[in-house]
Structure 1
């Protein structure tokens, strides 16, 4: 082992720009310690163990990963325990949240920092395997005097990163020895074992978190395809990548000549951008086919072996009927549209607050679906009661909403009737198309909201109610207030915050929405449907004035008319097979060019302004030259 003095002098020479025979990750870490963290190689620091309270916080935050990875850690430890290795699982901040070692050496391990609660972040401990791995995101071996701090130069440490399904580093797996008289090359087997275990933990995490998605397991050899794949990719119902094992897939991508893109950039991309496969082809890669026949060809021309696992139908992460709701009630609101994703995130934050929310959007744009998602993700134990104010005759609306006392009017039920407002007690009342509510009933609704009580028709005593109110309208309520058709005080009661749903023609995820709805129709019918290219093009070019409701109906009709599950142009409603006219009539070329100039020559902006699809603008411009 080198002396402390010679070790310090070597670091000083590297700081002055001298070349070093050490691995590049070691030299880079030394320079970070000197230049970024201002650490002194001559000032030895004892290993730092975080306080018990802090350790409990770190372990609670990493609880699910510890649970998922536990069997992998135990398997690895059984392979290395005879060589006196210690196993550390650190979180992304370098704190050891799980630990396995020989209890005989507890005191020595704790002093060396190879213990539960030790912090191995690079800015605190200097060059070390965990810290260097966190910074670089790559497996690393830090052997003996590779360590920056002289108090650690007797250790040998090997670490590999563990990424979550979206590509963020979530943990580091490390195996270390207190002493190793052998050369650094002796740790190559340790590096292989650690990297393999990290890959398996990533796979287990992916399988746990994406049970409602397709999963593609990938391997360069068919023998290990189903038992120990190199990597895995999760795909949603539209064939877009929702997650992956980033460590394994990165290595596989490089082997397949997929250069110039980091693994995180694959998320959200359609699988057919990188491989010659479509969602319809996945069943051909499921078990039952010979491993050697299940080949997936990359766009580069190289191929890997692939095994597909179908989604777990109807899976819900709830232990019982009393447990709360689906893990993410907002999941099916957006399939990649930026505006919808922003709205989804905002709605999720508001859901548990009990704040009145007004949802604005065109007919059929999904207002009730959004309202139900807000209810499901909140903590209200009661029911979700939806009322369409435009669908109830005005003369019946009062008794339907407020209920009535026994014998309140001629023809009334002798036992009376509980109104929809009371039905929503303890839950959520959703008033759709509230702009159509008569003014007289608006006054009564205002009292319900201000006094938390409802007075049935003909009753003498009010009944207490506690509910969350969500409302929606395709009309501009502020304009109705100005026209005297809607009470201003009620408007401000309803409109603590407004969520505006974009029309379908303005969304960027139309193709994915089509695939999602078609998959749902297929599940309902027990059949698999596929669009041919011309039918898909017609659906994408249509303006969808009826929004999602119109799209869903069109797809259900097309599915019913399809032969062998293939939807062609002949299966679509006639309106979808025609070109969309511009709503402003036949505009001269100069007017259209002027309108385009006013939108900064942005075709998408002009399409939104005119309420049509971008392709319609492009075709119109082409005809007008």
Structure 2
């Protein structure tokens, strides 16, 4: 047992805590524990359900940093009762003997000076090490705690990491503080998502109550909602209308006029079908942010009275509800100054999502994109932070303004952040914290106002656990998080393919159709390259059809990597050649990486989980130990 410290040896915050502990009458040699019943514990956990739903990834990642190291992670409520813990024996067994366990109260009035109780009392982060604990039985502990706040600043509880006092390290407190801040950011995102769902349900209920056709669109003219009456007129199920452009049913020039008018104007929408003899009267109703419209289709008039021609409207193609929700959340959080981490496989459109956030943020500076994996390790810092003239051999005579300075007042997009070298991670973390950059060869810090968005296809939690990525930088970058699903999980492949085909039609100057038998083949493909692969397949197929075969439609024989059966056999297409190509690519990557699966996944541009799935598909390719 460690000796009791002198009062003047304690930090001021802990000295005040010791005074409060004496005032409470806490006996340092004999603690009277306060424990919850099972029912009381369940009630308190229920009150913190939102926190655990929103923050479980942060808490689990924090636990991964301390597992098997005589440390544990604890969460208490605002009354000091421990409601959750993550840890491993034998340390958890030892901690339980002093009731550092679920259901126990660790306020100062019960346990004297300790990290949970003192952080509650002071509403500040605190570390309590060894004999700084008021009660003798707790002096084998070193504890680090930080308050957990709601998005409105309400104290929800305490996040604590406790361990063996012999393993005390002051930097652990910084890790806990960063995790607590990440929890608050995730709570904000959780709240925004819940409000968005509520607003969408209210809007759906309002529209469905209308008896006449009603369509809601965004400012790009994409349909976001329809009521049953409008869906019947459009000739599709309600779900199939969502994400489609108005121009699919109405003249593009009329749609352009409609979207540029105020809610006091009435527009005429001429149907896109050439043989239609009627048009619709449409009245737009803008929301308070003037970002979405509800269009009442109130009557029909002769088709020849439509408005003057305008330039066609360009549309962001998002027909999948899951993807649309991600983009809607992106717009909602765009004005926030918090850093954002975008996750998704290679080719899923992370750069487009980042640009959407920038465009909706109101920031007037530039959008600057950097691929961290494409910069040589020795040049990362000079590329990001710049350098003074003569800073090193080969430097420009007049120096170089780095990407942070180039993005001042705007947004810096750090793609493939998982490939950033460890030394550069340290500098990046310092710039994010201080909001200043110092060029190589200079000692003068330069203030920068930059919104940072990072993106990765890697499993950063695993990278943190393996020591390849800093935990504190990971938490700092993931103040907000958005995840883009792969193309194989999206429901709008056909809409996307048609969008890419329209661009090829513009290149070739001719209309191109797609045979019905092509769509099932495209829909069955796994699309490891996601949107990028789909765009290339459509482009290559269109050029094959038009320039090689001289026809205006894409058929099975035009699809790259697809092998047709021999003449005389049934007219079917086999996907075996796609699988063959995939199998060869996986085999070559594993061979080039000498059996290192992490390196093989990087060479293929996919995550390790995806590679493992493919090895399950091709078990003979698994490296032998």
TM-score by length of structure 1 reads 0.45
TM-score (norm 2): 0.45
Q: Of the two, which has the highest radius of gyration?
A: 1
